[in-house]
Amino acid sequence: MQLLYFGFFSVAYILTVTGNVLIACAVLLDRRLHTPMYILLGNFSLLEICYVSTTVPNMLANLLSTSKSISFLSCFAQFYFFFSFGYDECFFLCTMAFDRYLAICRPLHYPRIMTKQLYTGLVISGWSFGFFLYIAPVLRISRLPYCGPNIIDHFVCDPVPLMMLSCSEDPATQLLYSTLNIIFINGTFLFVLCSYALVILAVLKMPSTASKHKAFSTCASHLTVVMLFYGPVIMMYVSPGSGHPEKMQKLITLFYSVVTPLFNPLIYSLRNKEMKAALRKIFIAEQSVHKI
């Protein structure tokens, strides 16, 4: 069974990385995609590669290993980078929702507001935001007294199983961790929902059916990704009954850390004409090089 899992998750990881690399390359190479929406999408794709690479390679190695061990430092490094990249994804999803809101609800003011300086600052903030925000929880959880069992019943160094291994409870650390998750995850999710509620209202007022279809098509991809990402994350870290059984925790984590990143490139490329045209152009160029 472990070899079967290894094969399945290896294919999923390769497809995820390949799909996101293609989207990033399409945005980089096609000048028609040098707009804020696609620049944000290209950075989001690169972020997805970093996000899955913090956990999946180690999980694949464990499936082939008999010891399945990880050092204390490596465990907390994985914990820090996994959640930092996850928080960065939340920030980018908010930024992309804000960009769609400006483009559809404030089209005349869009060039004046979404300047190169602004979206460059948003990209830099998106990459660095999670790393600053998640330093405190990681440091506090790493300083808990660990003197008992050293077996984590999980395939990643998740904070809940880690805190369960501690010899003594620390209510302040648990409160900090829970409060940060509830405020940030719920806050960014509500921001995205409010942005798209305003977008939908603006689209419904459009006189042209073709304009409505194009606007809905563009926003549907983003909303699908948002639901796939936030659904299991909220269920795992924000819901009141977050004390899920161990098997349920693994399945939920597996979904948002492996399955969702696999679907994201397909969702964005298959539902977007400009992206499909850019990818087709890359493949044609590659075939021409091979022929030469």
State pLDDT tens for residues 170-214: 888 888 888 888 899 999 999 999 998 898 888 888 777 776 777
Q: How far apart are CA 81 and CA 257, in angstroms?
A: 13
The answer to whether 223 and 101 are in contact (CB under 8 A) is no
Q: Residue 290: pLDDT band by 50, 70, 90 thresholds?
A: low
Of residues 290 and 27, the one with the higher pLDDT is 27
Q: Residue 83: pLDDT band by 50, 70, 90 thresholds?
A: very high
Delineate the domains of the chain, giving CATH numbers in brackets: 2-291 (1.20.1070.10)
Which residue from 192, 212, 193 is spatially nearest to 202, judged by alpha carbons? 212
- What are the tens digits of pLDDT across the range 109-132? 999 999 999 999 999 999 998 899
Which residue from 288, 184, 284 is spatially nearest to 233, judged by alpha carbons? 184
Of residues 13 and 215, the one with the higher pLDDT is 13
- Burial tier of 12 (Cβ tally within 10 Å: 0-12, 13-18, 19+): middle
Q: How far apart are CA 56 and CA 185, in angstroms?
A: 23
CB contact set of 67 (below 8 Å; sequence gap of 6+)? none
pLDDT attached to residue 292? 53
Helix ranges (DSSP H) in 205-272: 209-237, 246-254, 260-270
What is the rounded average pLDDT of the residues 274-291? 69
* Rg value, the chain, Cα: 21
Other beta carbons less than 10 A from residue 64's beta carbon: 10
pLDDT attached to residue 289? 55
Asked if residue 270 has pLDDT above 70, the reply is: no
Q: How far apart are CA 256 and CA 229, in angstroms?
A: 6
CA dihedral 207, 208, 209, 214 (to 10 degrees): -120
Asked if residue 233 has pLDDT above 70, the reply is: yes
pLDDT attached to residue 242? 52
Q: How far apart are CA 237 and CA 134, in angstroms?
A: 14
pLDDT over 70, % of the chain:
92
pLDDT attached to residue 236? 81
30 three-state secondary structure: coil
Asked if residue 216 has pLDDT above 80, the reply is: no
Phi then psi for 150, rounded to 5 degrees?
-120, 30
For residues 123-154, one letter each, b for 16 or more C-beta atoms within 10 angstroms of the residue's C-beta and e for the rest, the string is beebbebbeebbeebbebbeebeeeeeeebee
Q: How far apart are CA 32 and CA 61, in angstroms?
A: 41
Asked if residue 239 has pLDDT above 80, the reply is: no
